[in-house]
Amino acid sequence: MSQHGGLQDKAATPILLGMVNIRSVAPQDLAPAGLAVDDLSVDFDGRSVLQNVSLEVAPGEIVALLGPSGCGKTTLLRSMAGLERPFHGAITLGDRTLHGPKTFVAPERRRIGMVFQDSSLFPHLTVGQNVAYGLHHKDEKEARTREALALVGLSDLADRLPGTLSGGQQQRVAVARALAPEPRVLLLDEPFSSLDTTLRHSVRNEIHRLLVSLGITTVFVTHDQEEAFILGDRVAVLHEGKIAQVGTPAELYRQPVNRWLATFVGEANLLSVDEAPDDCTTEVGPVTVTTPIAGPAELVVRPEDLKISSGTGGTVEFVEYYGHDAMVQVLLTSGTSVRVRTHAEETFTRSDQVAVSYCGPGAIAFPVGLPNNDC
Ligand code: ATP
């Protein structure tokens, strides 16, 4: 067993990953450490890519970096790993400074594991050799490789070449390779985006269980809101190189800080009103407003905050059926289209005449025309 305690020798809760029954671990040397980014700024060729980004990831927490393409997610992740050199700010792991005005710890000395979008395995090396690649102590190589492969449920594939594995298996090997050196933080860059939908869901579920079981501090990049909400204990939303909001999925969904965020995380109907008092009159009837505004405003109304029934005031444009529920798009007489989530068994069809009313917990309002509302 490795002198660092090994990945599997201190049993906690048994978990099942793939078809292999394995045990989760919490050896002392793998005790989760918090990762903190403080006031980080990165430029490329004089162009600002990250501006004064601060983010704290608690020990054992899983944090998603979510944002549209080009907002700087990968640059932030690579800065944490030491693959980019920010010109300003600090990065600390536990009480150890990794990056600061006078400090730069090389990537291989950070004890941070990284998994990339494509598994980036060496095609000419076996699975076992790939996992062992970053291990330097001869006497530990074999045990740690065996343990890491067991963690991802691939012990029996150690002698295979990557090209003979499915995309999901390759990604699990990449995770095993990142875990083998016993990192204190795991960083994943769009780890599921190269997999097709069905495989993505099953691999995501397996990796999620593994991360929770190991209790390892994890930061992962995604541009998929659903994925961020499913995996992230908290989600940091980046927009144009800045942190727009950090919070639990529920906080982001129910208390977005601006209009852009409200529409970026989940679907939102934006209802225009001349003013937004507590008890606001709208084209779908009265709506309780949690953040009243005296002047013109837009109310954020989620599709599940609306209900429809046979009546007047709207015409069903079309229905999207999802099995667990359905989304009905309704054209109101005002000309506004709203999206309403209904139970799957409620049957509406195109051209049905319906009444739409509000049934949500209270809506957030954003003033119209403020410069900072959209960023
Ligand atoms: P995506 O979701 O599309 O991967 P992202 O949010 O991860 O995007 P980054 O990859 O961090 O965004 O890139 C942010 C910006 O920085 C982009 O405009 C990108 O072109 C630019 N950029 C990234 N790396 C470099 C580099 N090494 N040199 C110059 N520009 C770069």
In ligand 1, the atom with minimum distance to the C-alpha of 67 is 6
Q: pTM, whole model, 2 decimals?
A: 0.87
Distance CA 185, CA 204 (A): 18
**Which residue of 53, 73, 117 sits with most ligand 1 atoms within 8 Å of its CB, as the best mutation to test the pocket?**
73
From first to last of its 375 residues, the chain has per-residue pLDDT tens of 333 334 433 223 223 233 233 334 444 455 789 999 999 999 999 899 999 999 999 999 999 999 999 999 999 999 999 999 999 999 999 999 999 999 999 998 999 999 988 768 999 999 999 999 888 887 788 889 999 999 898 999 999 999 999 888 998 999 999 999 999 999 999 988 888 888 888 889 989 999 999 899 999 999 999 999 999 999 999 999 999 999 999 999 999 999 999 999 999 999 999 999 999 999 999 999 999 999 999 999 999 999 999 999 999 999 999 999 999 999 999 999 999 999 988 889 999 999 999 999 999 999 997 655 554
Distance of CA 233 from the midpoint of ligand 1 (Å): 25
Distance CA 70, CA 228 (A): 17
Three-class secondary structure of residue 156 per DSSP: helix
Other CB atoms within 10 Å distance of the CB of residue 210: 24
**Which residues are near ligand 1 (CB < 6 Å)?**
44-45, 49, 67, 69-75, 223
In ligand 1, the atom with minimum distance to the C-alpha of 76 is 11
**Which residue of 44, 48, 77 sits with most ligand 1 atoms within 8 Å of its CB, as the best mutation to test the pocket?**
44
Q: What are the residues whose beta carbons fall under 8 Å from the beta carbon of 133, sequence distance 6 or more?
A: 122, 125, 177
- Whether 284 and 303 have beta carbons less than 8 Å apart is answered as no
Q: Residue of the nearest CA to atom 27 in ligand 1?
A: 44
